[in-house]
């Protein structure tokens, strides 16, 4: 599978981040429903790109960043 990484980083990631922001408002950041959506949507995109290592790694970084944000919110 030939992967267009420029499209992934310039289209897929920004689109996912916009949708994530909408889901945070709609479902509540940190809610089970949000994390379920995040997991399923990330998995779907990773599958779309054949579970490429770079694609999976990018979403792993985003997942880690989101969990850090949730921990910070819980500390307040």
- Over residues 10-44, the pLDDT tens digits come to 999 999 999 999 999 999 999 999 999 999 999 99
Residues 6+ apart with CB under 8 A from 70: 29, 30
Give the up-direction half-sphere exposure of residue 32: CA atoms within 13 A in the CB hemisphere.
Answer: 0
Span 46-71, average pLDDT: 97
Which pLDDT score is estimated for 56?
Answer: 98
pLDDT-derived band at 76, boundaries 50, 70, 90: confident
pTM of the model: 0.91
Mean pLDDT of the chain: 96
pLDDT of residue 52 exceeding 80, the answer is yes
Structural tokens at position 40: 């399923």
Calculate the CA 31 to chain-centre distance.
Answer: 15
């Amino acid at each position: 599978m030939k992967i267009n990484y420029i499209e992934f980083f310039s289209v897929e990631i920004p689109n996912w981040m916009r949708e994530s922001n909408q889901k945070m408002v709609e479902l509540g950041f940190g809610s089970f429903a949000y994390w379920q959506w995040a997991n399923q949507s990330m998995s779907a995109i990773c599958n779309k790109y054949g579970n490429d290592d770079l694609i999976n790694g990018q979403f792993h970084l985003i997942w880690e960043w989101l969990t850090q944000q949730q921990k910070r919110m819980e500390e307040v």
